[in-house]
Amino acid sequence: MAVLDTLRAADMASSVEWCEARPASRAALERVHSARYLDTLERVAGHGGGMLDADTVMSADSWEAAVAAAGVAIGAVERAVATGSAFAAARPPGHHALAAHAMGFCLINNVVVAARQAQQLDKPRVLIVDWDVHHGNGTQALVERDPSIRYVSMHQYPWYPGTGGADERGVGNVFNVPRPPGLPREVYVRDLLAAVDAALVGWPPDLLLVSAGFDSLAGDPLGGFTLEPDDMARWTTTWRERVAPAPVVGVLEGGYRLDLLAAGARAHVRALA
């Protein structure tokens, strides 16, 4: 509710047009995840929930929430293709989810589901930029053999989930920026801008997806980065200019202090608008 409340504030009315998405179809989910895995998630929820791994738990409503979140990401892509930009305000997050395994609070990889939907809409080259403080291991694993998608991630390293080394390049489509905690915020801003510039060399994308994790803001209890909401606004504005006329979509990932989550989402959405 923190994100929704801040985006419903009176001074955001001129920047935000609300659209309600449909739950993701089974076909859209199966472009990314195995049918057996999806059946397992639905079955666990149907039995009232349960533990999937050490830190990922399902309740009776988690399957419905996850399918809805993936649908919001798809809807944001469809909206951005029509209007230029959109933000998917949805939880649970997705960037740790693998093809057949949940982890890190993530059940369905929303951003990759959204990327595959974009490709169905004649947007064949998709750039994903992930500024969540944790490496999006699931996203990388799902796209690292596919040259039609490029993945850029800046994340705290070493940190959960332990992946995301700079030498992990996929088929030349992965650009990891592992960084320690506590650096001056301008270092993080500069280094992610440089990585995105490298990914764009000779490769103009048809759509940009941002895995917008606000746990990289200074003060989040699960990270040690020093970023401020203005830095995310700067990134968003810069990339809108650099990938134009390609649409830009933000997809909510992590963020575990509600005031920071709200402030980050607000800054990002203002820049998208």
Burial status of residue 201 (CB atoms within 10 A of its CB: 0-12, 13-18, 19 or more): exposed
CB 140 within 8 A of CB 170: yes
Helix (H, G, I), strand (E, B) or coil at 32: coil
Cα of 5 vs its chain's centroid, Å: 20
Could you give the C-alpha distances from 107 to 51, 62, 229, 237, in angstroms and in order? 12, 9, 27, 30
**Amino acid in position 173:** N
Structure tokens belonging to residue 85: 């930009």
The catalytically annotated residue of 33, 95, 96, 135 is 96
Structure tokens belonging to residue 84: 């230029």
CB 221 within 8 A of CB 257: yes
* 96 classed as catalytic: yes
Residues catalogued as catalytic: 96
